[in-house]
């Protein structure tokens, strides 16, 4: 499997990463190089093997339904690129 | 040429906001109406390095729902990430459940306006987190984002496409709404967005077995909008097909001001959500013991109650349905019946229940309707209503006088359990007659006022087609 | 003083022969002086560090000191710390000051350790050379033309160059062990779940694990006693009783079965690395250990499986860097989507963008099964290989890297070559096993250390059950005792590099 240029641009759009026309061919070549490495897994017979999504075979621990977090919006909004009001703001689409 | 008649096919996806104190994956509060971002903690803001931890209360509510609709509550379910970018989605993904939801199957029994009962099958119900809100106030060309709602627990309940009209869809939504409040997993407040429906609507020639192409109408937060949006959408689809066009698979938004639906996003922007198992959360296990505990804590469900009223109290099915429209109504009715039983220890329980039912579904329901008041806030409490009914039954007053007394109680002329007696004495309403001779007549003349035609959404909610869940 | 072990430093502090303030100043001066050329630190803030040192001195005076009280420790800039910039080596977070502390930072603070600074690293921990940092490449203390390894290269270089007595790092596919190996220090990747990931900026959630860098196994144990521990804020944190990682340091090796996988000694392994590792295994045998031949038949698949799973998780984990709530935002843009695309194009470096694109692709519609699902199944096969091998041995020994440190710039343009450098390290992350790298010699006269790794001990597997979790540290630490005996070589070489009169 080898990525075409339009596929590269589709993936970049999906990932919200701008790729300029000048960069596109280079990105395409590098991705295809990497995918070439990954394709080694194609040939492996994994019939009947359960995927291993987590590093350890344990189940989830649950939290009690209690409010533990205080209001820290001043501290949290201090790190926002722009926050002129109580809200985090962002240019409209 | 024979005219084609069309059949509507509807399935609903309902977002039920679970009534936990804290959020589904963080310890921030979920209370509605707090100042913007005052309830958005580090986890909700997706600061670098934060991690989710699942709230047991949200899982417990999902289990309650699963048991209440007779579904399979899976012993092992998985969380997944649904990836997309939007300013109200801080992590760039929503934690949801994808191919291994906690609740599978189940069904909801609904009662239509004509009294017929139907079953709507459920596909699944899964846990997920809500997104924040974009506040469309203009700050120099900027949108504000309030993340208080981000991370609020939701149970998304997905039905099979079992409904055939807007009325059926509304009956289903009402039944679901009543059930989630009945089992105390959601406050049901639709204005605040605690209960929101997406409707999948398609049409097909009557008799066809294949489904037509569907459109999804998003974010319907009132029963009226749900009904009108579906009706409009059905009309739109039929018109397109009859003009030789084709329905496009798309997401549409209902505009209540114009009473129409319009396309939200076009096809070329079709999302690729890249679902994959959430690596920060291990598989969720629900033990048999936990299921047992939750099952034991469930109240008697509306369908069971309805059947019991018919069977044990000999109430007509319609009355039983009205009295189980909400848990508060059923509890009020049972308290009135219990009050009567206490006043007349040797009386006939079925006759007492019938009298209580008549008053609760009749005079009281009418008064609540007129005043647009929930039964929980009724100025006439169940015990005082029971005392009033007892006075009719022991011949102290007639049914007609009782209405006058009721109105006076409603107006607050006297308070307390013995309000009826006080009003009867003060106004000199005691009838001087042979109580025994009139007893039969009183029963016949007990007020049974049909619900008025609704003037508000709240009134409609109470009138409701009654529904309930399967046990 | 710069060569003192953590326990020697603790003794000196306890005896009031030295104050934390003095000790911290010594290291700060060394970082700013001879150490500056290494570019090992992204942030040093003497004011903050010295304030902490003063507080620690008061604590020592009050008789409330623990083993790390007053000792300066450098932290990889992947751990967020309140009051400090937490950049993760990225332009995206270049100005981000975390409003909260990572669990690891909380634990070091509670122990009275001093934050000496935030160390340089590959951007978002993606890399094997510490060259992808927005703040410039880190240099190997043994040879400034070579890389220190990555992604925790700043921590490894700092410890190797005695710019810090100890440091923390994170390891997703070898990011502690590989730089430890290439820089000639000890590095431990604990069992997945032993060290909380809360506040450790995520790269690939199911693989990431924090761990320590030090110059000896004994020091690693001291650090682990502080770093490890249950954290309710991390759903994958293991809930089990605290253990003393130093307890079995002196336990003899007699009876220890050392598994040696043939697959780790095949083509691609530099002969001088292979022979040094063989010599180290022979040394273990002389000390009473038994050599056992084992097989890890799917070892060759670990790199491709890893480079599907890690980028997939990363592509999602890094979606939060969108210019909305914190971090970098592009100056010029046209609408929301353009703001996202430019912010992320400008805020991320080339390697991070490559991995996000690969990860996005392998999760996308139509490719998920062939890549992501398949890789997770292969991950199971790899984990099974270890389980079978550990039926026959207690630890597995082999090289950490196929070669000694490579030149700066040598592999930057060739991601595939860079990825293949991780061949011996990624399997332990896929299987969630603990793994340790300790130095075992130098390449041909040049000061090029290389190491051997011990991915996973059987005991580490066992430690998943809450029963006896103490064997893992015993095995790891006692085994490494032999190799730390070679430390003087490393020390003198380090002095050579740093030149004039560095002594305390």
User: In whole angstroms, how far apart are CA A34 and each of A83, C303, C305, C415?
Assistant: 40, 11, 12, 7
Using CB atoms, pick whichever of B39, B54, B272 lies closest to residue A62.
Answer: B54
Please report, rounded to a whole number, the percentage of residues in chain B having pLDDT higher than 90.
71
SS (H, E, C) A45-63: CCCCCCCCCCCCCCCCCCE
Residues 96-155 on B with a CB inside 8 Å of A are: 135, 139-147
Q: Report residue C476's pLDDT band, with 50, 70 and 90 as the boundaries.
A: very low
Distance (Å, whole) CA B161 – CA C92: 46
Contact yes or no for B48 and C98 at CB 8 A = yes
Q: Report residue B403's pLDDT band, with 50, 70 and 90 as the boundaries.
A: very high
CA distance A3 to chain C (A): 10
Using CB atoms, pick whichever of C99, C207, C373 lies closest to residue A79.
Answer: C99
Chain B positions touching A16 (Cβ under 8 A) are 85
Is A37 among the domain residues?
yes
Distance (Å, whole) CA C133 – CA C350: 10
Is A60 among the domain residues?
no
Q: Is the pLDDT of residue B89 over 60?
A: yes
Length in residues, chain C: 504
Contacts of C148 (CB under 8 A, 6+ apart): C38, C40, C129, C130, C138, C139, C140, C141, C154, C156, C157, C160, C179, C182, C183, C405
Per-residue pLDDT averaged across C396-423, rounded?
A: 93
Contact yes or no for B282 and A54 at CB 8 A = yes
pLDDT of residue B114: 80
Distance (Å, whole) CA B426 – CA B237: 65
pLDDT of residue C472: 29
Is A17 among the domain residues?
yes
Chain C residue with the nearest C-alpha to that of B95: C316
Q: Is the pLDDT of residue C459 over 70?
A: no
Encode pLDDT of C218-269 as tens digits. 999 999 999 999 999 999 999 988 889 999 888 999 999 999 999 999 988 9
pLDDT of residue B308: 93
Mean confidence (pLDDT) of chain B: 88
Interchain CB contact of A36 with B (< 8 Å): no
- Paired tokens of C350: 């080339």
CB atoms within 10 A of CB C488: 10
Instruction: List the single best residue of C377, C381, C472 to mutate versus A (max A Cβ within 10 A).
Output: C377
Chain C positions touching A51 (Cβ under 8 A) are 373, 376-377, 379-380
Is residue C206 annotated as part of the catalytic site, yes or no? no
Q: Report residue C503's pLDDT band, with 50, 70 and 90 as the boundaries.
A: very low
Pairing of strands C257-261, C290-294: parallel
Encode pLDDT of C273-304 as tens digits. 999 999 999 999 999 999 999 999 999 999 99
Q: Is the pLDDT of residue C124 over 80?
A: yes
**Residues C97/A74, Cβ–Cβ less than 8 Å:** no
Lowest mean pLDDT among B461-465, C110-114, C472-476: C472-476
Interchain CB contact of A9 with C (< 8 Å): no
CA distance A19 to chain C (A): 7
Chain B residue with the nearest C-alpha to that of A82: B142
Phi, psi of C396 (to 5 degrees): -115, 130
Instruction: List the single best residue of B49, B56, B59, B93 to mutate versus C (max C Cβ within 10 A).
Output: B49
Per-residue pLDDT averaged across B126-142, rounded?
A: 77
Encode pLDDT of C339-393 as tens digits. 999 999 999 999 999 999 999 999 999 999 999 999 999 999 999 999 999 999 9
Distance (Å, whole) CA C284 – CA C281: 5
Contact yes or no for B53 and C235 at CB 8 A = yes
Is residue C151 annotated as part of the catalytic site, yes or no? yes
**Residues C183/C138, Cβ–Cβ less than 8 Å:** no
In angstroms, how far is CA C159 from the centroid of its own chain? 12
pLDDT of residue C432: 96
pLDDT of residue B146: 92
Encode pLDDT of B344-398 as tens digits. 999 898 899 999 999 999 999 999 999 999 898 999 999 999 999 999 999 899 9
Is residue C56 annotated as part of the catalytic site, yes or no? no
Q: Report residue C13's pLDDT band, with 50, 70 and 90 as the boundaries.
A: very high
Chain A positions touching C358 (Cβ under 8 A) are 31, 34-35, 38
Q: Is the pLDDT of residue C480 over 50?
A: no
Peptide bond into B210 cis (omega under 30): no
Encode pLDDT of B420-451 as tens digits. 999 999 888 887 655 554 555 445 545 554 44
**Residues C128/C150, Cβ–Cβ less than 8 Å:** yes
Pairing of strands C290-294, C186-189: unpaired
**Domain range annotation of chain C:** 6-262+388-463+470-498
Using CB atoms, pick whichever of B20, B26, B58 lies closest to residue A69.
Answer: B26
User: In whole angstroms, how far apart are CA C385 and each of A51, C279, C382, C458, C490?
Assistant: 15, 25, 5, 12, 35
**Domain range annotation of chain B:** 6-297, 302-469
User: In whole angstroms, how far apart are CA B348 and each of B311, B314, B382?
Assistant: 15, 12, 19
Contact yes or no for C305 and A82 at CB 8 A = no
Chain B residue with the nearest C-alpha to that of C238: B282
Per-residue pLDDT averaged across C465-491, rounded?
A: 26
Those chains having 3 or more beta-carbon pairs within 8 angstroms of chain A are B, C
Q: Is the pLDDT of residue B320 over 80?
A: yes
Is A78 among the domain residues?
no
Distance (Å, whole) CA B430 – CA B432: 6
Interhelix angle for B382-393 vs B349-359, to 10°?
120
User: According to the CATH classification, is domain C6-262+388-463+470-498 in 3.40.50.300?
Assistant: no
Distance (Å, whole) CA B409 – CA C125: 73
Pairing of strands C114-119, B6-17: unpaired
**Residues C403/C323, Cβ–Cβ less than 8 Å:** no
Using CB atoms, pick whichever of A61, A65, A90 lies closest to residue B21.
Answer: A65
- Paired tokens of B470: 């399967």
Q: What is the tally of structural domains in chain A?
A: 1
* 3-state secondary structure (DSSP) of residue C164: coil
Chain A residue with the nearest C-alpha to that of C95: A79
Interchain CB contact of C324 with B (< 8 Å): yes
DSSP C464-490: TSSS---HHHHHHHHHHHHHHTTHHHH
Q: How many CB pairs under 8 A join A and C?
A: 176
Q: Angle at Cα B125 formed by Cα C236 and Cα B156, nearest 5°?
A: 90
Using CB atoms, pick whichever of C315, C329, C414 lies closest to residue A81.
Answer: C329
Q: Report residue C404's pLDDT band, with 50, 70 and 90 as the boundaries.
A: very high
Q: Report residue B321's pLDDT band, with 50, 70 and 90 as the boundaries.
A: confident
Residue B187 DSSP code = -
CA distance A21 to chain B (A): 21
User: In whole angstroms, how far apart are CA C302 and each of A80, B400, C169, C435?
Assistant: 39, 86, 22, 15
Per-residue pLDDT averaged across C307-333, rounded?
A: 96
Q: Nearest CA to C191 among C471, C474, C463, C466?
A: C463
Chain B positions touching A69 (Cβ under 8 A) are 26-29, 41-43
Name the residue range of residue A33's domain. 5-41
Interchain CB contact of A22 with C (< 8 Å): no
Distance (Å, whole) CA C237 – CA C382: 22
Secondary element (H or E) of residue B95: strand B93-96
DSSP C402-437: SSSPPBTTTTTT-HHHHHHTTTTTHHHHHHT--EEE
Q: Is the pLDDT of residue C40 over 60?
A: yes
- Among left, alpha and beta (phi > 0; psi -120 to 50; other), residue C432 is left
- Paired tokens of C58: 């008061």
Distance (Å, whole) CA C142 – CA C87: 26
Please report, rounded to a whole number, the percentage of residues in chain C having pLDDT higher than 90.
83
Residue B27 DSSP code = S
Please report, rounded to a whole number, the percentage of residues in chain C having pLDDT higher than 70.
88
Taking the CA atoms of B419, B420, B423 and B426 in sequence, report the sign of the dihedral they define.
Answer: negative
Using CB atoms, pick whichever of A60, A67, A73 lies closest to residue B285.
Answer: A60
Of A52 and A83, which is predicted with more confidence?
A: A52
The number of CA neighbours under 13 Å toward the Cβ of C372 is 24
């Amino acid at each position: 499997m080898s990525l075409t240029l339009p596929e590269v641009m589709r993936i970049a759009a999906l990932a919200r990463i701008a790729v300029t026309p000048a960069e596109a061919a280079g990105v395409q070549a590098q991705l295809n190089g990497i995918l070439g490495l990954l394709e080694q897994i194609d040939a492996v017979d994994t019939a009947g093997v359960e995927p291993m999504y987590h590093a350890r075979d344990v189940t989830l621990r649950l939290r009690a339904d209690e409010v533990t977090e205080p209001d820290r919006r001043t501290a949290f909004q201090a790190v926002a690129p722009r926050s002129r009001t109580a809200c985090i703001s962002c240019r409209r689409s | 040429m024979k005219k084609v008649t069309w059949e509507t096919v509807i399935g609903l996806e309902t977002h039920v906001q679970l009534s936990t104190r804290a959020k589904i994956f963080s310890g921030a509060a979920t209370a509605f109406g707090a100042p913007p971002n005052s309830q958005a903690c580090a986890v909700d803001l997706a600061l670098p390095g934060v991690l989710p931890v699942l709230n047991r209360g949200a899982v417990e509510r999902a289990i309650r729902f699963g048991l209440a609709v007779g579904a399979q509550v899976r012993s092992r379910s998985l969380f997944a990430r649904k990836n997309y970018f939007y300013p109200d989605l801080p992590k760039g993904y929503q934690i949801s459940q994808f191919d291994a939801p906690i609740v599978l199957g189940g069904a909801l029994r609904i009662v239509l306006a004509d009294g017929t009962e139907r079953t709507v099958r459920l596909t699944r119900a899964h846990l997920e987190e809500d997104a924040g809100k974009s506040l469309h106030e203009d700050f120099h060309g900027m949108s504000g984002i309030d993340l208080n709602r981000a991370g609020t627990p939701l149970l998304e309940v997905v039905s099979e496409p079992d409904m055939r009209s807007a009325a059926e869809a509304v009956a289903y939504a009402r039944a679901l709404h009543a059930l989630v409040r009945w089992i105390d997993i959601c406050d049901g407040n639709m204005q605040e967005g605690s209960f929101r429906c997406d409707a999948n609507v398609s049409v097909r020639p009557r008799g066809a077995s294949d489904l037509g192409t569907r459109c999804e109408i998003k974010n319907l937060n009132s029963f009226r909008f749900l009904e009108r949006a579906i009706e409009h959408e059905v009309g739109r689809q039929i018109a397109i097909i009859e003009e030789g066009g084709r329905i496009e698979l798309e997401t549409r938004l209902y505009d209540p001001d114009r009473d129409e639906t319009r396309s939200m996003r076009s096809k070329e922007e079709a999302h690729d959500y890249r679902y994959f198992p959430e690596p920060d959360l291990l598989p969720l296990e629900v033990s048999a013991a936990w299921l047992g505990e939750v099952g034991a804590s469930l109240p008697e469900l509306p369908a069971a109650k309805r059947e019991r009223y018919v069977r044990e109290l000999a109430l007509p099915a319609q009355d039983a349905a009205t009295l189980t429209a909400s848990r508060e109504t059923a509890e009020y009715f049972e308290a009135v019946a219990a009050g009567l039983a206490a006043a007349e220890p040797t009386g006939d329980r079925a006759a007492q229940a019938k009298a209580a039912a008549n008053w609760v579904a009749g005079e009281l329901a009418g008064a609540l309707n007129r005043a647009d008041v929930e039964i929980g806030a009724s100025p006439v409490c169940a015990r005082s209503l029971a005392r009033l009914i007892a006075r009719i039954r022991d011949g102290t007053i007639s049914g007609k006088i009782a209405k006058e007394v009721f109105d006076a109680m409603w107006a607050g002329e006297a308070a307390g359990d013995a309000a009826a007696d006080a009003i009867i004495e003060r106004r000199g309403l005691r009838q001087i007659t042979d109580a025994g001779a009139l007893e039969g007549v009183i029963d016949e003349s007990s007020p049974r006022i049909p619900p008025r035609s609704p003037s508000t959404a709240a009134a409609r909610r109470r009138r409701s087609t009654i529904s309930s869940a399967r046990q | 003083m710069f060569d003192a072990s953590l326990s020697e430093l603790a003794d000196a502090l306890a005896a009031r022969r030295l104050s934390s303030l003095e000790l911290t100043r010594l290291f700060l001066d060394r970082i700013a002086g001879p150490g500056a050329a290494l570019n090992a630190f992204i942030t040093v803030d003497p004011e903050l560090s010295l304030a902490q040192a003063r507080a620690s001195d008061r604590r020592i005076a009050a008789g409330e000191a623990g083993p790390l009280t007053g000792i300066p420790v450098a932290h990889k800039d992947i751990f967020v710390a309140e009051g400090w910039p937490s950049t993760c080596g990225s332009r995206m977070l270049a100005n981000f000051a975390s409003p909260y502390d990572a669990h690891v930072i909380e634990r070091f603070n509670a122990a009275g350790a001093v934050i000496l600074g935030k160390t340089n690293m590959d951007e978002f921990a993606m890399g094997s050379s510490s060259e992808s940092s927005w703040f410039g490449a880190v240099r190997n203390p043994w040879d400034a033309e070579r890389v220190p390894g990555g992604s925790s290269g700043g921590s490894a270089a700092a410890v190797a160059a005695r710019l810090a007595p100890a440091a923390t790092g994170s390891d997703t596919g070898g990011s502690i062990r590989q730089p430890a190996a290439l820089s000639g220090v000890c590095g431990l990747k604990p069992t997945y779940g032993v060290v909380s990931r809360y506040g450790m900026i995520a790269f690939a959630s199911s693989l990431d694990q924090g761990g320590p860098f030090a110059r000896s196994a004994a020091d690693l144990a001291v650090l682990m006693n502080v770093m490890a521990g249950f954290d309710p804020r991390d759903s994958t944190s293991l809930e089990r009783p605290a253990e003393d990682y130093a307890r079995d340091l002196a336990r003899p090796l007699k009876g220890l079965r050392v598994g040696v996988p043939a697959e780790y000694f095949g083509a691609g392994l530099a002969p001088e690395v292979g022979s040094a590792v063989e010599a180290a295994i022979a040394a273990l045998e002389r000390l009473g250990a038994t050599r056992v031949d084992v097989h890890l038949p799917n070892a060759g698949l670990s790199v491709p499986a890893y480079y599907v799973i890690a980028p997939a998780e990363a592509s999602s984990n890094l979606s939060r860097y969108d210019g909305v709530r914190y971090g970098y935002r592009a100056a010029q843009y046209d609408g929301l989507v353009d703001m996202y695309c430019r912010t992320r194009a400008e805020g991320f470096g080339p390697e991070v963008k490559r991995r996000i694109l690969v990860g996005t692709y392998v999760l996308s519609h139509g490719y998920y099964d062939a890549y992501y699902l398949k890789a997770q199944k292969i991950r199971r096969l790899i984990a099974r290989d270890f389980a079978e091998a550990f039926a026959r041995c207690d630890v597995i020994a082999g090289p950490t890297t196929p070669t000694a440190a490579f030149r700066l710039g040598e592999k930057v343009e060739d991601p595939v070559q860079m990825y293949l450098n991780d061949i011996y390290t990624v399997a332990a992350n896929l299987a969630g096993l603990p793994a340790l790298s300790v130095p075992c010699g130098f390449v041909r006269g040049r000061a090029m250390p290389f190491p051997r790794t011990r991915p996973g001990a059987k005991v580490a597997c066992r430690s998943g059950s809450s029963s006896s979790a103490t064997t893992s540290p015993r095995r790891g630490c006692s085994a490494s005792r032999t190799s730390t005996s070679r430390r003087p070589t490393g020390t003198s070489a380090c002095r050579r590099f740093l030149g004039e009169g560095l002594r305390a």
